[in-house]
Amino acid sequence: MNRRYRKTVIAGNWKMNKTAAEARTLIDELKPLIAKVKWCDIVLCVPFVDIPAAIKAAKGSKIAIGAQNVHFEKSGAYTGEISAEMLAGLGVKYVIIGHSERRQFFLETDDTVNKKVVSALEAGLRPIICVGESLEQRDQNVTLDQIRLQVKIALKGISAKELKKVIFAYEPIWAIGTGRTATCEQANEVCDNIRACLREIYGARAARSVTIQYGGSMNAKNAKDLLAQEDIDGGLIGGASLKANDFSQIIDAANQ
């Protein structure tokens, strides 16, 4: 982390878990555990149906609520989809875009990720843009090439001013939900590469202000070591965000 230049952000991705009632319970459990946090922002990205209950439960706390996906059109015949304006109207502040599960199971592409980023920014949301490589790509030694491609396409048409609202999350696909985690050095290398790519496009000042999270099975045990890396500014947390004690321990590590 480098708080001199950028925010530390710990975001929970609940994926397809928790009913509205369960969401309220978990947030109520979490609030007293993070009441004294000063040095990092806290986000919970919850299922669409949980958003109203989560926003109500988080009111007055340090927790912001995010969504896990968004459509790039403002309205239209897109059955089952949700627009950025709809999310903003509920009080949502953040939205995950391009998560590997969306790319893998729902055929999202780099181009649709870019469209969603543009739409989110226009609605005043902060996009958390996910980038990452498969195990095959890492074994073929094309990780950095793959990441740079995803970063550049995601930011097509995005200005330096808009970049200030963008968060990147490096999520090695081979480390999500597998219990495997990139070493601190591997994770920081890719996060450093993301920042180098941003520097080439927007310049050094803009690049150093962007928060870059690690999103590959960060947990209470490894969070401190990962967050000690210069270019890892937070975490996009999956399973550990579903347990108040585990999630609060990661937040504590980020608050040091």
CATH number, domain containing residue 214: 3.20.20.70
pLDDT of 174 = 83
Query: Which of the residues 71, 99, 108, 133 is marked catalytic?
Result: 99
Name the catalytic one among 101, 108, 133, 171.
171
Per-residue confidence (pLDDT) for residue 3, from 0 to 100: 83
Q: Is residue 1 part of a domain?
A: no
From CA 236, how far away is CA 95, in angstroms rounded? 12
Please give the pLDDT value at position 110: 98
Task: Give me the number of domains the chain comprises.
Answer: 1
| 3: in domain | no
Q: Is 11 helix (H, G, I), strand (E, B) or coil?
A: strand
pLDDT of residue 217: 80
Strand locations in the chain (E): 9-13, 41-45, 63-67, 94-97, 126-131, 167-170, 211-214, 234-237
Inside any domain, residue 102: yes
Does some domain include residue 4? no
What's residue 1's pLDDT?
78
* Token pair belonging to 238: 């999956």
- Give the range of the structural domain holding residue 44, as residue numbers without chain letter: 9-254
Q: Is residue 2 part of a domain?
A: no
Place of tokens 């490894």: 222
Q: Token match 């950025």: residue?
A: 84
99 is catalytic: yes
Q: Which residue has the tokens 């609520």?
A: 65
Cβ burial, residue 22 (10 Å; 0-12/13-18/19+): middle
The pLDDT tens digits along the chain (256 residues) read 788 889 999 999 999 999 999 999 999 999 999 999 999 999 999 999 999 999 999 999 999 999 999 999 999 999 999 999 999 999 999 999 999 999 999 999 999 999 999 999 999 999 999 999 998 898 899 999 999 999 999 999 999 999 999 999 999 988 776 767 789 999 999 999 999 999 999 999 999 999 999 998 889 999 999 999 999 999 999 999 999 999 999 999 999 8
pLDDT of residue 216: 81
Per-residue confidence (pLDDT) for residue 88, from 0 to 100:
98
Q: Is residue 88 part of a domain?
A: yes
**Assigned domain for 221 exists:** yes
> Residue 194 domain-assigned?
yes
- Tell me, what amino acid is at 117? V
8 A C-beta contact, residue 245 and residue 225: no
CB–CB of 219/246 below 8 Å? yes
**71 assigned to active site:** no
